[in-house]
Amino acid sequence: MTERQTDIEIEFLHMRLCSPLVLASGVLGLSSSSLKRVADAGAGAVTTKSCGLEPRAGYVGPSIIPVSHGMLNAVGLSNPGVKEMVREVADYRARCRTPIFVSIFGGTVEEFGDVAEAVAQAEPDLIELNVSCPNVYSEFGSPFGADIDATAAITRRVKQRVGAIPISVKLTANCLSIGQTAKVCEQEGADALTAINTIGPGMLIDLNVRKPVLSNLCGGLSGPAILPVAVRAVWEISREVSIPIIGTGGVTTAEDALQMILAGATAVGIGSGIYYQGLEIFDKVNEGVQRFLQEKGLGSLDEIRGTAHE
């Protein structure tokens, strides 16, 4: 029997990605050089750190701490502002062909629209709307992603302002029904969905100083601990929508990535895994996914996408 040719390339919206793995926002996504390093390491697409209208310093340290099976972070959306991000994207484009997704945030629906329009000048392959960061209560109220009407309004406004550039709404699991939120985003014109952002927020207390460890007191939980929550979220979303999903949260192995695909994801985000394994994680997971397809006699990931629902 001849062995079937195995292919981990995927079709994502109008793009052909060399791998289903996408760099998640916030990890190594600030400069064109670091984004290119991730692309060269085997990511099928890269997502920038979320950027806002103006530069933002973020919170002072400690802002990232390891916990058992995960990480707690409250970086505070530090970013150089949209003007600088547009320059970084142009520089990346001149040096690298791997698709680039630009993540944005805003304090109001209008601001989301303004940032999106400014970012659209750089012609990214996709704009990701971070409506779901769990650490920014003080300035922004509770995350938009927990409010279905606000999420709908942001999606509609951004879609009106960015023309033909596809948008993905990044959802939080901290909401009543992620499936219903996803459905509303699709109805408002979202081209894709990314799920999930960090969960929580959570807190850890330092026994020596008897105070919370993070300078912001609380932070979002990521890494292997949140994989089951993320897989469940992707499962629920894929029951409600037909647009593609970037399944993100706790993926550190090929088995984790395959669970996301079986739950219905088209692509798979990797963030915290880079802290544990370095950039080799992309090759390792790509190879593991390829091996799985070969061993099971499958030609492509399309043959198993969403099949855990059957």
Enumerate binding residues for ligand FMN (CB under 6 A): 24-27, 49-50, 64, 71, 73, 75, 77, 103, 130, 133, 170, 197-198, 222-223, 226, 248-251, 269-273
47-78 burial, b at 16+ Cβ within 10 Å, e below that, comes to: bbbbbbbeebeebeebbebeeeebbbbbbbbb
Q: Which residue is nearest to ligand FMN (CB)?
A: 26
The least CB distance from residue 302 to ligand FMN, in Å, is: 23
The least CB distance from residue 299 to ligand FMN, in Å, is: 28
The closest of 277, 289, 290, 221 to 250, measured between CA atoms, is: 221
The least CB distance from residue 225 to ligand FMN, in Å, is: 8
Catalytic residue among 133, 175, 185, 218: 133
- CA distance linking residue 167 with residue 285, whole number of Å: 26
168: region left, alpha or beta (phi > 0 left; psi from -120 to 50 alpha): beta
The least CB distance from residue 132 to ligand FMN, in Å, is: 7
The closest of 160, 166, 168, 172 to 185, measured between CA atoms, is: 168
**Phi and psi dihedrals of 221, rounded to 5?**
-90, 135
Specify whether 133 is catalytic: yes
Closer residue to ligand FMN, CB minimum distance, 50 or 98: 50
Bridge partners, residue 205, by sequence: 212
Closer residue to ligand FMN, CB minimum distance, 243 or 246: 246
**Cis ω on the peptide bond leading into residue 62 (within 30° of 0)?**
yes
Three-class secondary structure of residue 269 per DSSP = strand
Q: Return the amino acid letter for 300.
A: S
Closer residue to ligand FMN, CB minimum distance, 251 or 262: 251
The least CB distance from residue 48 to ligand FMN, in Å, is: 8
Burial of 35 from C-beta contacts in 10 A (0-12 / 13-18 / 19+): buried
CA angle 298, 302, 303 (to 5 degrees): 45
Closer residue to ligand FMN, CB minimum distance, 181 or 272: 272
Closer residue to ligand FMN, CB minimum distance, 6 or 225: 225
Closer residue to ligand FMN, CB minimum distance, 6 or 220: 220
Neighbours of 118 (CB within 10 A): 18
> Looking at residue 18, what DSSP letter applies?
S
The least CB distance from residue 221 to ligand FMN, in Å, is: 8
Neighbours of 204 (CB within 10 A): 14
Catalytic residue numbers, as ranges: 133
